Amino acid sequence: MEKKLVFNDLLKDAITIGLKNILSLIGCLILWGLTIWIPYINVGTTIAIITLPAELSKGKVISPLGIFDKKYFKYMGEFFLVSGLKGLIIFPAMFFLFVPAIVLSIALSLATLLVVDKGKGAADAIKLSNKLTYGNKWTIFLAQLVLGIAINILSFILLKIWIGLAIILALVALPVMLGLKASIYGTLAGDVAEE
């Protein structure tokens, strides 16, 4: 059965999830920054950072130390494979006035999360992501657009007042954007069986 996203619920959930996890997410970014010079460990922590919305979608406050979980190393090959395949699919679509690329990027936006969170293979994750987002692309696009515009307008205003306020907004905006992706993923893929 096809699930439908509700615009207002997405925005509300994005703010709730983001603010609930703001300190944990800042901790994750600090720990990730500290591992940037350690090649193998940084690959795992980078995969963890990219797939944080899957953890956020489960409704609990995440632990910053979770980025060191062994599962992020387990799916390293599939992570790079699905990332490469997404690039091969989206890049040529950019030559058609960007609209097909935007549609395809939304269609494939859950694939990486499905690989790491549900253990799906790259091809299966791409097909499943396309299937899960079918009928919801406009809602996803509008939610991302509205949040993006609101954040940019606030940033512009706050930069005129004091740069410190713009930095604080950035520290809040990132968790809210991750919360939006977590809400989308949790709603559409929350009950997908793990492999």
pTM of the model: 0.91
Query: What domain count does the chain have?
Result: 1
- Has residue 194 been placed in a domain? no
The residue segments making up the domain with residue 129 are: 7-189
- Has residue 195 been placed in a domain? no
- Has residue 172 been placed in a domain? yes
Tell me the CA distances in angstroms from 167 to 106, 122, 171, one per residue in order. 28, 37, 6
Q: With contact defined as beta carbons under 8 Å apart, do 86 and 161 qualify?
A: no
- Has residue 165 been placed in a domain? yes
pLDDT in tens, the chain (195 residues): 678 999 999 999 999 999 999 999 999 999 999 998 998 899 999 999 999 999 999 998 999 999 999 989 998 999 999 999 999 999 998 888 789 999 999 999 999 999 999 999 999 999 999 999 999 999 999 999 999 999 989 888 887 788 888 788 888 899 999 999 999 999 999 888 887
- Has residue 135 been placed in a domain? yes
- Has residue 2 been placed in a domain? no
- Has residue 77 been placed in a domain? yes
